[in-house]
């Protein structure tokens, strides 16, 4: 486990709120030197704690009004290979290797039912998929990518 202190956590929390803020603004906000922020952020990136800076997009406003959660039962001991192939699909936003009834679960976003239909049919023809179970999302109550550290 990588050691992070309170300042690192404050930096991470502040960057989660606004990753576009300047190091100068962040330094003023946390009452430390700008060089300290620069060094800490670089350390957090090198350690893989900060993987990338990204934009939180409202996909519904871009026409992706349909989301689905798809449980997958694999066959033939090729789960890792299958998950890598699924991760390449444009509409799939998350691939999870899970315990329980399914071997993997994917989350995907679509502009319409036809896109969902094409993906599910494609998945069901993939060599290492035995069966899928699709759940259409009716309402998004919370959708965040991360938790407060």
Q: Per residue in 42-97, pLDDT tens?
A: 999 999 999 988 888 888 899 999 999 999 999 988 999 999 999 999 999 999 99
Give how far Cα 132 sits from Cα of 60, 113, 118, 125, Å.
25, 17, 13, 11
Structure tokens at 128: 């290492």
Q: Is the pTM of this model over 0.85?
A: no
Tell whether domain 6-46 is in CATH 1.10.10.10: yes
DSSP E strand stretches across 87-137: 92-97, 104-110, 129-136
Domain with CATH 1.10.10.10 in the chain: 6-46
Nearest Cα residue to 59 out of 114, 117, 112, 109: 109
- CATH 3.30.70.920 domain residues, the chain: 59-136
CATH class of 59-136: alpha beta
């Amino acid at each position: 486990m990588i050691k992070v202190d309170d300042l690192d956590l404050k930096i991470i929390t502040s960057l989660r709120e606004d990753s576009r803020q300047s190091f100068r603004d962040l330094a003023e906000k946390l009452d430390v030197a700008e060089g300290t922020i620069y060094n800490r952020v670089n350390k957090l990136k090198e350690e893989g704690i900060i993987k990338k800076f990204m934009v939180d997009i409202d996909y519904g406003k871009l026409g992706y009004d349909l989301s689905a959660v798809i449980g997958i039962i694999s066959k033939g001991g090729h789960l890792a290979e299958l998950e890598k192939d699924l991760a390449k699909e444009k509409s799939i936003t998350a691939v999870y290797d899970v315990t329980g009834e399914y071997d993997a679960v994917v989350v995907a976003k679509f502009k319409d039912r036809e896109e969902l239909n094409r993906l599910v049919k494609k998945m069901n023809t993939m060599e290492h998929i035995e069966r899928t179970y699709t759940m259409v999302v009716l309402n998004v109550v919370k959708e965040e990518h991360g938790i407060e550290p």
